[in-house]
Structure 1
Amino acid sequence: MSSVARIALGSIASKAPFTVRAMAARGIATSAVMQKDVVQELYLKELKGYKPAPTKVDESQVKELKLPAAPEVPAVDADLSEQLAKYDAEPEEATQ
């Protein structure tokens, strides 16, 4: 029985430092206090309160809009049969 007690005592002793270290690390990590960034808060406050000054329109720089002239309709030859007859009269070219 003494060997079993020795093993049990050894396992408890080996776990004790680990849990103490884990609790100490956990206590440090959770105790960090979040502080506000004063510069960021001031910057955001100024940004929200900014109102740009209205700009004046200079009428001398505005030009009147002139659309381009509409294109003319292409003239189609009225007598296409004459042109077709000339095409049919041309000799055929031999292609290889």
Structure 2
Amino acid sequence: MTASYSIALDSSPTLTVVEAVVDVTTQVGGQTSLRLYEHVNPDALEDIITASSEKQSDVEVRFTIEEYLVIVRSTNTILIHEPVEAQR
């Protein structure tokens, strides 16, 4: 695993995902043009995670961005795993 982040209760899950992915994938001093909607529907992600958190049901959404596996859990956790090629 490359990184683990927590989603603050008063924070947007999608905004936190963007911040976490940018933190992991951007080179020091570099810029990024990350568009979350190219990888996952941000509104659907927000709705699923928020509703599941409120109902205290366990949900996990997985998708890839720039070959990183991103896992967003309704327990307000974001996990980012390195690309498979980098682990070899």
TM-score, normalized by length of structure 1?
A: 0.18
TM-score, normalized by length of structure 2?
A: 0.19
Higher helix share: 1
Structure with bigger RCO (C-alpha 8 Å, 6+ apart): 2
